Amino acid sequence: MFDYTFTHWATFLTAAFLLNLSPGPDMAFILGQTARRGISSGFSAMFGIWSGAFVHVIFAALGLSAILATSALVFSIVKWIGAIYLIWLGIQAIRSEGVLISAGEHTSSEGMAKIFKQGVWVDVLNPKVALFFLAFLPQFTVEGAGPVSAQLFLHGVLIIVVAAFVEPPLILIGGKLTAYLSNSRKVSRWMDRGLGALFIGLGIKLATTDKI
């Protein structure tokens, strides 16, 4: 079971690495929360995104993502919910008065939980993520290597594992930027507005997209 060649793993892991480096709502949310509120918030956002991705992995393994690919109505409903949620996050960020983060200050547990939940929904409500897993993962199934659902689940989880090597260093680098800007509410406010504009743009892009 799960008997793959070296070429298979080299190809898959390279693709997974490049995938995790690609920009999108997930990466924007993680780095945006890091820049706004520091490293701890960045990691909360990251774990939320990973949890949302895990939901998509389960859906892909069970075949539920195929519903999005075959039902225009379901796709549209999920797409619009996701777009509205991204735009709402963008408006909230634009309306923010900025956040000051002093040295040694940490986001409250309630705040981190909120960021985590937002991260989950940012990923879960993006139908393009579900369709991506549905299109991407089957390319790495091998006849005789095990049940297809198990192979899909394994490769989906490994994409998240690869993210563990890519995203934490980016969060730590982003945290350095936050340290330099921690005493400027004006800069923090403009960072929030920039992040808000980005999320609104991503929401509009999602709302106007067709199936992949």
In whole angstroms, give the CA distance from residue 58 to residue 86: 23
The region that residue 48 occupies, defined by phi over 0 for left and psi between -120 and 50 for alpha, beta otherwise, is alpha
pLDDT band at residue 43, thresholds of 50, 70 and 90? very high
Q: What is the pLDDT of residue 103?
A: 42
User: Which candidate, 95, 110, 86, 99, places its Cα nearest to that of 178?
Assistant: 99
Question: What value does the mean pLDDT take over residues 13-30?
Answer: 83
Three-class SS of the chain: CCCCCHHHHHHHHHHHHHHHHCCCHHHHHHHHHHHHHCHHHHHHHHHHHHHHHHHHHHHHHHCCHHHHHHCHHHHHHHHHHHHHHHHHHHHHHHHCCCCCCCCCCCCCHHHHHHHHHHHHHHHHCCHHHHHHHHHHHHHHCCCCCCCHHHHHHHHHHHHHHHHHHHHHHHHHHHHHHHHHHCCCHHHHHHHHHHHHHHHHHHHHHHHCCCCC
Q: 71-90 pLDDT, tens per residue?
A: 777 778 878 887 888 788 78
Higher pLDDT, 147 or 182: 147
Decide if pLDDT at 185 tops 70. no
Considering only CA atoms, give the Rg of the chain. Answer: 18
Q: What is the pLDDT of residue 99?
A: 53
User: Which candidate, 79, 33, 48, places its Cα nearest to that of 198?
Assistant: 33
Higher pLDDT, 56 or 36: 56
Neighbours of 176 (CB within 10 A): 10
Whether the model clears a pTM of 0.85, i.e. scores above it, the answer is no
Do 152 and 141 meet the contact criterion of CB atoms below 8 Å apart? Answer: yes
Q: 83-137 pLDDT, tens per residue?
A: 888 788 788 878 766 554 444 445 567 788 999 999 999 899 887 788 778 778 8
Amino acid identity of residue 181, one-letter, is L
